[in-house]
Structure 1
Amino acid sequence: MADDDAQRCDEPGELSEPRAEFDMEFVDWLPGGRAVIPVESQGRFTWLVVRGHVSEQARQEFVRELQHIVGRGLWRQDWPAGAP
């Protein structure tokens, strides 16, 4: 995934309007020695990940799991009107 690829999560047969959006952004470091931190702001949910701490296989599995959770309606974002 590129440093700032957005994922719009819907599964076939579900509502056509995305119910959740997320990014995975790779950074050089995070506070407290953490490898991953979720951040929610301005209508997006971003997973900050320290470079080298998530393999491509782990990233793909993570994306598939999020798509499943969102596609089944287990995670919905309720952004205020006008949020980007």
Structure 2
Amino acid sequence: MQDDSGTTAPQQRTTGGASAELLRPEVDIEFVDRLPGGRVVMPVEQENRFVWLVVHGHMSPQAREDMVSALQSIVGNRLWEQNWQPPQAS
């Protein structure tokens, strides 16, 4: 969930009866000089972080702000989740 500042608040999750852990996924759009293969936009992921890379000049700062806000809402409302934990052995 988002707090009043627009930041994605920590979420509690339990996995397989394990104790709850707090996750605070980060969402951002970063400008870069170039991307492979002539792309102008590319998503990248790291544990607890969703980042879209955009080549300078292909997105205005206002569009970036609006998109980050929309993505934070999507992630904060748990409409987009990633499971960064390795699968549990049966």
Q: Give the greater-gyration-radius structure (CA).
A: 2
Aligned mates of 1:25, 1:51 — CA distance in 2? 9
Question: Could you list the runs of 5+ residues in structure 1 that have no partner in the other structure?
Answer: 1-9
* RMSD of aligned residue pairs (Cα, Å): 2.5
Alignment TM-score, normalising by the size of structure 1: 0.64
Question: Could you list the runs of 5+ residues in structure 2 that have no partner in the other structure?
Answer: 12-22
Who is 1:11 aligned against?
2
Aligned mates of 2:71, 2:40 — CA distance in 1? 18
Aligned pairs, how many? Answer: 71
What percentage of aligned pairs have identical amino acids? 54
Give the drift of 1:59. Answer: 0.5
Who is 1:63 aligned against?
68
- After superposition, give the CA deviation of every residue in 1:16-38 in whole Å (9 maximum; x if it has no partner): 43552233222111122211100
Report the residue type matching 2:54 in the other structure: V
Larger RCO (CA within 8 A; separation ≥ 6):
1
Aligned mates of 2:10, 2:47 — CA distance in 1? 22
